[in-house]
């Protein structure tokens, strides 16, 4: 059957249409990137970055590819990171940015038009809302927050202060995702009863158990902790690996999950589940230092279909031979999409003794090498700022909150070890004090939850 399907795809008259789609997407890329031409003086934008180590600087580097954008400030609690990034920014734009160790001092600079928030998850809410209060637009990394209460506050703050807020779920700016979503919504797949979303991360190795230590020279560890619980410094809980500790993040469920869940829910036109249950644990590396599960299956029930989230570390062989992706499984066929492209796999049935396809197959479309979705996402955000039109955003703060809240529900179900039920009208779990308590933020070290 596999060979027959490949033959069918190769001979399908829709192969020509597939080539056309690839061509049009490439043309769209050229059009989008051509918008980085020189801009008028009144459209020049000055940006400040909070959190310079990983995705924060990756985002900034894309923003600086857009004409008319200048980095005037960098902020980080690690002086070595700050010094390294300052040199790199000067090499890119020919000008030195101002350097800060406290983001609040940076926000006092009235020349800054917008900020990029690239800090660990437990800082996002404070960083974003303080930036909005200071009159800045914000590009905030995903997931937007550590808990549901913070998500709701961030949505309310964006509305109150009327600024443009983009979330770094940049798959929303991928042309081939748009093509796949159109097919899902067309009805051609038939009734979709299951959506699978997954991330298999073979590159992830065990996090070695390390003793507590003195913070590196030049690191303001108290500032890094911020509202998180007071703990001794440990290298495992610092740069990058903070993702695997509950104090600061939600593991792969929120790190990778928000990307895939966002596309799945958007394509299916839903926002909130009826119920969620999860099962998993530290099965790959039971004795390593991380806290979050390295293996997890989470079932979300929505009206008319289920969504299954699955993640695993240390292995790459995920569903349909892909390390990550989304599969929309319908009665007529299955559409599989990930960052490399999409493929439609038709179902077959018996008609008078002959096996026939329930729908026409489409050749797999793979993204072109010059498609930089992070750059597209940055361009989209900057265009929205210049036109002062949040409706142009590919992933505004409300969109980011939907993905984050659904992922956080998965973690709550996992921690509780039982099924939870959601009341969409009330925005809380049904008759479940324990689950509702886990929606709340708890701030430490003198930091307080923002008031909106």
User: Residue 370's pLDDT band (boundaries 50, 70, 90)?
Assistant: low
The answer to whether 118 touches 141, Cβ cutoff 8 Å, is: yes
Integer Cα distance of 102 and 439 in angstroms: 28
CB 253 within 8 A of CB 298: yes
Instruction: State the pairing for strand pair 341-346/365-366.
Output: antiparallel
pLDDT (tens digit, 9 = 90+) per residue, 276-301? 999 999 999 999 999 999 999 999 99
Lowest-confidence segment of 321-325, 340-344, 347-351 by average pLDDT: 347-351
pLDDT at 342 over 50: yes
Query: What mean pLDDT is predicted for residues 4-29?
Result: 34
Whole-angstrom distance, CA of residue 235 vs CA of residue 212: 7
Q: Would you state the pLDDT for residue 446? A: 97
CB 336 within 8 A of CB 329: no
The string of pLDDT tens digits covering residues 387-429 is 999 999 999 999 999 999 999 999 999 999 999 999 999 999 9
Percentage of the chain with pLDDT > 70? 90
For all residues of the chain together, what is the average pLDDT?
90
β-bridge partners, 140: 117, 167
- The span from the CA of 397 to the CA of 390, in Å, is 10
Q: Angle of helix 14-34 relative to helix 2-11, nearest 10 degrees? A: 70
Does the pLDDT at position 368 exceed 60? no
d(CA 443, CA 440): 10
Question: What DSSP letter does each residue of 269-293 carry, written as one string?
Answer: T----SEEEEEEES-SSTTSS--S-
Average pLDDT over residues 247-268: 98
User: What does the alpha-carbon distance between residue 149 and residue 444 come to, in Å, rounded to a whole number?
Assistant: 16
In this prediction, what percent of the chain has a pLDDT beyond 90? 85
Domains by residue range for the chain, with CATH: 175-368+398-437 (3.30.360.10)
**Whole-angstrom distance, CA of residue 379 vs CA of residue 393:** 10
Give the pLDDT confidence of 298-316 residue by residue, as tens digits.
999 999 999 999 999 999 9
Count other C-beta atoms under 10 Å from residue 143's C-beta: 30
**What's the pTM value of the predicted model, to 2 decimals?**
0.90
């Amino acid at each position: 059957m596999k060979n027959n399907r490949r033959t069918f795809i190769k001979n399908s008259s829709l192969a020509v249409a597939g080539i056309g789609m690839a061509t049009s997407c490439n043309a769209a890329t050229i059009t989008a990137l051509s918008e980085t031409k020189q801009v008028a003086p009144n459209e020049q934008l000055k940006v400040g970055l909070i959190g310079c180590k990983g995705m924060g600087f990756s985002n900034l580097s894309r923003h600086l590819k857009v004409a008319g954008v200048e980095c005037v400030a960098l902020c980080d609690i690690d002086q070595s990171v700050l010094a390294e990034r300052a040199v790199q920014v000067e090499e890119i734009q020919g000008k030195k940015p101002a350097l800060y160790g406290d983001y609040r001092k940076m926000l006092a600079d009235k020349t800054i038009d917008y900020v990029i928030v690239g800090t660990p998850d437990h800082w996002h809410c404070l960083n974003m809302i303080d930036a909005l209060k200071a009159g800045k637009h914000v590009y905030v990394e995903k997931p937007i927050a550590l808990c549901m209460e913070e998500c709701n506050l961030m949505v309310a703050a964006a509305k109150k202060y009327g600024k443009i807020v983009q979330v770094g779920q940049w798959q929303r700016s991928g042309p081939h995702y748009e093509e796949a979503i159109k097919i899902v919504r067309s009805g051609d797949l038939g009734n979709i009863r299951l959506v699978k979303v997954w991330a298999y991360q073979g590159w992830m190795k065990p996090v070695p158990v390390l003793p507590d230590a003195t913070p590196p020279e030049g690191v303001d560890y108290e500032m890094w902790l911020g509202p998180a619980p007071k703990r001794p410094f440990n290298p495992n809980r610092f740069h990058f690996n903070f993702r695997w500790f509950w104090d600061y993040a939600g593991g792969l469920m929120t790190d990778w999950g928000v990307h895939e869940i966002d596309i799945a829910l958007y394509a299916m036109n839903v926002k909130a589940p009826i119920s969620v249950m999860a099962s998993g644990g530290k099965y790959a590396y039971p004795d390593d230092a991380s806290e979050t599960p390295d293996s997890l299956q989470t079932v979300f029930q929505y009206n008319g279909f289920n969504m299954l989230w699955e993640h695993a570390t240390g292995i790459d062989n995920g569903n349909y031979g892909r390390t990550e992706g989304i599969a929309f499984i319908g009665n007529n066929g299955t559409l599989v999409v990930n960052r490399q492209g999409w493929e439609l796999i038709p179902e077959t049935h018996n008609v008078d003794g002959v096996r026939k396809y329930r729908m026409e197959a489409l050749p797999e479309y793979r993204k072109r090498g010059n498609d930089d979705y992070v750059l597209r996402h940055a361009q989209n955000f900057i265009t929205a700022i210049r036109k002062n039109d949040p409706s142009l955003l590919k992933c505004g703060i409300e969109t980011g909150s939907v993905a984050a809240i659904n992922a956080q529900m998965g973690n709550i179900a996992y921690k509780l070890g039982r099924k939870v039920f959601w009341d969409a009208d009330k925005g809380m779990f049904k008759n479940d004090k324990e689950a509702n308590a886990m929606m709340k933020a708890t701030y430490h070290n003198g930091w307080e939850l923002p008031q909106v």
